[in-house]
Structure 1
Amino acid sequence: MQTEPKIEPIKKSRLSEEVLKRLQSMILDGTFSTGDQLPSERELAEQFQVSRASIREALRVLETLGFLYSKVGVGGGTFVQKVSIEALLNPFSEILGNEKQVIIEMLEFRKLLETEIARLAAERHTDDDLINIEKSLNEMRSDIAAGGIGVAGDTAFHDALATACHNSVFENMLSMAKGLLVKTRQTTLQIDGQPEKSLSDHIEIFNAIKDRDMVLSEELMLNHILKAQKNALENLR
């Protein structure tokens, strides 16, 4: 008779984990920016109303993830780290900052990955895939018409293409980098006129995919990303 596996009960979240989530959120929303010094352990413990041990553990994990770094001696303390690609692509962390170099490097990554996704989507898409892609276009169009920048629809469009290429590795790679992709889109779509231009590009790509034109789909996606890269170089500091 097979022995049933022992399953441990789910434990309540530790205070250090809650502190970690709160601090990470404050970094991500800009409360603490790159280079800022965090309050001392004692001050954080008082503000969060937890022990210094919980604060210390949360800070240690955030350092491991690449969000923070420590300095000793005069002027020492815990500071918000400038983001690295390793930290940004860590599946257990989210996105920090929108430094120009990181955005440019992410666009280089997209040139390699998303051009092939567009080509495969043109070859392999189903009717349901086309419905999902068109839905993302409508979402972006509605948001722009209402005065937004269309980032949710933009993200949904590229996600729908990844699904339509029917390659789980490509889809998972895009998903792993999704946080950074959203952050870069939020930044580039802030440029005047960019939301409308991006939507126009998406419509052209969609039509090429719908027509199963693999070469044109790949070419249009490459041009789309190259234009985003050019805008980033010219407008971001």
Structure 2
Amino acid sequence: MKEKDLLAELAAYLYACSNSETGRTPSERELAEHFSVSRGQIRETLAILEAMRIVERRAKSGIYLTTHQASVEAMALFAKAGVPLDPIQIYETVELRKIHEIKAAELACSRATDENFERLRGILAASEARLAAGEGLARQDRDFHLEIVRATQNSVFHKICSIYYVMGERRLPIYFNDPARGQRSHAEHLQIFDALVRRDGNLAQALMSAHLQGAESYWKGLIAGGEEATKALEKA
């Protein structure tokens, strides 16, 4: 089994099999038997999960799940492995993404290159084609926003914001399941793009803020929408 596959699968398995009261998980030996790998491989993978604050290994006691202390990278790993995130964490992530991307829009106005603009034009063209075919914009929405972050020419900024989209990979298709929402989002993308081309940082920030307010309100509404809505959010 590849190291990356084992990391995600082990995280999901520990989450599913941990004791609901104590957080204790199966032992190294049991985990090695379950995944048909050596205890050394399990130990190395657990070390990574411990560094991500997903588990804690206690001497003479065992392995314990500590997801409430998990890092942002750990939350992305959980999302990729299909482990449901806490609804409040989802909303907080959307809120943080909004803060970062508003700043990205401002920086992109002064730093974007011709190559960035060309890629944005290509993404917008692909969005139009998908809308015409009655298809969702989950991938194009991600690509548009991350290209703006890329246009800041700050690679660390791009890596941080990319994590948000890994965490939202399963939820974006749900958000764009509504055709009207896709049309509205694309129209707003066009306005943001025009502000970027004109190098108008203040306008780009304002447009990005208004654009992301829709997503923030959507997830906030789900969280406040009662038990059924919360269950739907947890499955997302």
- Scaled by the length of structure 1, what TM-score is found? 0.70
Q: Which residue of 1 aligns with 2:166?
A: 182
Instruction: Report SS of the residue matched to 2:168.
Output: helix
Instruction: Report SS of the residue matched to 1:139.
Output: helix
Distance 2:149 2:115 in 1: 13
User: Deviation of residue 203 (structure 1)?
Assistant: 1.9
What number of residue pairs does the alignment pair up?
210
Instruction: Report SS of the residue matched to 1:50.
Output: coil
Q: Which residue of 2 aligns with 1:218?
A: 205
User: Deviation of residue 50 (structure 1)?
Assistant: 3.1
Q: Given the superposition, is the C-alpha separation of residues 130 and 102 from structure 1 closer, same or farther in structure 2, using an over 3 Å criterion?
A: same
1:82 is aligned to 2:82: no
Q: Given the superposition, is the C-alpha separation of residues 43 and 142 from structure 1 closer, same or farther in structure 2, using an over 3 Å criterion?
A: farther
Residue by residue over 1:30-71, the C-alpha shift from the partner in whole angstroms, topping out at 9 and shown as x without a partner, is x53845425543333224333334323322331232233468
Is the CA contact 1:149–1:190 (under 8 Å) kept in the aligned structure 2?
Answer: no
Aligned residue runs from structure 1 range 186-197, under 5 A? 186-191=170-175, 192-193=177-178, 194-197=181-184
Q: Which residue of 2 aligns with 1:230?
A: 217
Q: Given the superposition, is the C-alpha separation of residues 58 and 127 from structure 1 closer, same or farther in structure 2, using an over 3 Å criterion?
A: closer
Identity, % of aligned positions: 26
Distance 1:215 1:55 in 2: 51
Is the CA contact 2:123–2:143 (under 8 Å) kept in the aligned structure 1?
Answer: yes
Distance 2:27 2:132 in 1: 46
Q: Which residue of 2 aligns with 1:32?
A: 13
- Scaled by the length of structure 2, what TM-score is found? 0.70
Match of 2:151 among 164, 183, 202: 164
Q: Which range is displaced more, 101-110 or 215-224?
A: 101-110
Distance 1:228 1:54 in 2: 41
Counterpart of 2:4, as a letter, is K
